[in-house]
A and B are shown apart, each in its own frame.
Chain A
Amino acid sequence: MRPSRLPIWGRPPMLKVDGIQVAYGKVQALFGVTLEVKPGEILCLLGRNGAGKTTVMKSIMGLLPLTGGAIFLNGEVISGIPAHEIPRKRIGYVPQGRRLFPELTVSENIEIGLLPCKSGSDTRDWVLEMFPRLRERLNQQAHTLSGGEQQMLAMARALCLHPQVLLLDEPTEGLQPSMIELIRQVTVNMKNEGLGVLLVEQRVDAVLSVADQVAFIEHGQNLESLSAEELRGDPDKIHRYLGV
């Protein structure tokens, strides 16, 4: 049996966010957030706008300095190391709004993804097989792609790292249903390969169908973590935390 098919409890957490506090200047945004992303599991972060979901993602990537707490990857502290060394630990980041390099071509955007872990052309072929549409557009500048293609490229760029952990910040925002389905499929495939996925998503229905665990976050604190099954059985919680 593949390790990823094991029950999710009892395995060591791959990514552990332990009581992190983050401030933008004098404005504190996170007041102690604790999360655990396990291999082969999708942890979904739910919360209202401004609750601190994206801040959690950026903190994991080392883009914001922590004022308290720590972040561990496989037991090793990764908070406090220079931001450019985080991707070398094989954490792939698909940021909100995609944040491609707009004037670089599709091919060059992928090449940037290959740099940190010195991945070779086999990796390039692997991600292009996953998103064949990108192969047709290799020499096109990223900003000329459609929204869905841009999202594919953002995913491809992050997957070039062969990540252990994938951070997805609203990957389906503004996409048509067929594209949402494709992104969802790739995410689930990656999970089945044993990746840990931290997913930020606004649409609760999209979350419930893919997530294994759900963590609610509000005003920079996390409220409750529960399995997606529990949440499916108790939709009242969604109303209580999200007001939807």
Chain B
Amino acid sequence: MEFGPHLLLASLEGAVSAAVLALTAMGLSIVFGVMRIVNVAHGEFFMLGAVLAWWIASMIGAHPAVGFVVAIVIAPLAVGVIAAVADKVILQRIGYDPERTIVATIGLLYILQQAALMTFGPDARPVTPPFNQRIDLPWFEFTKNGLGLFWPWGLSITSYKLFVVLAAILILTGVWLLMTRTRFGLIMRATQQDREMSQAFGVPVDNVFAYVFGLGAALAAIGAVLVVPVQQAHYLMGHDPLLLSFIVVIIGGLGSLPGTVIAAVLIGMSDGIISVFFSPTLAKIVATMAVAMVLVFRPQGLVGKAAS
């Protein structure tokens, strides 16, 4: 394949991972932004979403689409509820103290991971995509006869992958509308800016935190449900999303939602492209390097504001 079509293919693959990463990192970013806590267990909520999606889809023997639709509704809800309970039972009890929260969420990470191992076993589980047509893509090239259109062998994407990108855009738009246009969004933003004054104006901060923690986990789970038909569900799959989400959130600016999306697209695309042309290891090296550079030259992140 020529370089141009090859790059297009790599970019499309990158767009899929960027979409999933944007959802997952958005969850982490909202939790950090509103609650000011570092949630080390975030990747496990992603894993739980994926494993539950497989479990639900395999329970429902009907057409794969039915199982998938049920999974994308039920799995994030279930993961959100588990996270909200974990917030009430664990994090609220330790008063969201920064150090103790990190240790507690590390504990939560292992509890969720091992619970998934004991319940669902160590095997990687595939989920059948609800639809999966191959779409061949054309490429343009200047020939002797002017601009020509041809179909390079291997330049194609599946309809499901396009759906993942579209679904992520829709959900992120939904999150943005939730944050900016609804009363709950207003309450979340107020709590983020001044917890004490929110209480002085009747915001039940404890409950808001439980909802926010649940929402963050549910976003990771949605990303996971979308990705299992492409990847497989496995009890150790939470590591990469956790690392990449942290990279994205740091590059984008802690707690900045537009920054998170921009950084997710940057990291996701570069991860996809570098993985195709060179190696996935180099992709991770570049991403980590980018974090180091951001921390040195722009510690507040690309979009974040400097601490006043």
Q: Does A223 contact B (CB under 8 A)?
A: no
Q: Determine the distance from Cα of A102 to Cα of B198 in the docked complex, in whole angstroms.
A: 12
Shortest CB distance A63–B (Å): 6
Name the residue of chain B whose CB is nearest to the CB of A86: B200
Name the residue of chain A whose CB is nearest to the CB of B196: A63
Per DSSP, are chain B's interface residues mostly helix, strand or loop, or mixed?
Answer: helix
Q: Determine the distance from Cα of A157 to Cα of B202 in the docked complex, in whole angstroms.
A: 12
Q: Does B199 contact A (CB under 8 A)?
A: yes
Most-contacted residue by chain A among B198, B199, B205 (CB, 10 A): B199
Most-contacted residue by chain B among A61, A112, A116 (CB, 10 A): A112
Sort chain B's interface into a size bin.
10 to 19
Q: 8 Å CB contacts to A: which residues of B29-79?
A: none
Most-contacted residue by chain A among B189, B194, B201, B205 (CB, 10 A): B201
Once the chains bind, are A63 and B199 in contact (CB under 8 Å)?
yes
Q: Does B190 contact A (CB under 8 A)?
A: yes
B190 contact set on A, CB distance < 8 A: 101, 104, 108, 112
Once the chains bind, are B204 and A84 in contact (CB under 8 Å)?
yes
Q: Determine the distance from Cα of A62 to Cα of B190 in the docked complex, in whole angstroms.
A: 18
Once the chains bind, are B197 and A84 in contact (CB under 8 Å)?
no
Per DSSP, are chain A's interface residues mostly helix, strand or loop, or mixed?
Answer: loop
Q: 8 Å CB contacts to A: which residues of B64-98?
A: none
Q: Does A224 contact B (CB under 8 A)?
A: no
Q: 8 Å CB contacts to B: which residues of A112-155?
A: 112-113, 115-117
Once the chains bind, are A103 and B193 in contact (CB under 8 Å)?
yes
Q: Does B157 contact A (CB under 8 A)?
A: no
Once the chains bind, are A115 and B197 in contact (CB under 8 Å)?
no
Once the chains bind, are A101 and B197 in contact (CB under 8 Å)?
yes
Q: 8 Å CB contacts to A: which residues of B130-164?
A: none
Shortest CB distance A92–B (Å): 9
Shortest CB distance A118–B (Å): 10
Once the chains bind, are A104 and B186 in contact (CB under 8 Å)?
yes
- Which of A84, A95, A101, A117 is in CB contact (< 8 Å) with B193? A101
Q: Determine the distance from Cα of A62 to Cα of B196 in the docked complex, in whole angstroms.
A: 10
- With A63-B196, A95-B197 given, is the CB distance from A103 to B202 under 8 Å? no
Q: Does B294 contact A (CB under 8 A)?
A: no
- Which of A62, A99, A111, A117 is in CB contact (< 8 Å) with B194? A99
Residues of B bordering A, CB below 8 Å: 183, 186-187, 189-190, 193-194, 196-205
Residues of A bordering B, CB below 8 Å: 61-63, 82-88, 93, 95, 99, 101-104, 108, 111-113, 115-117, 157
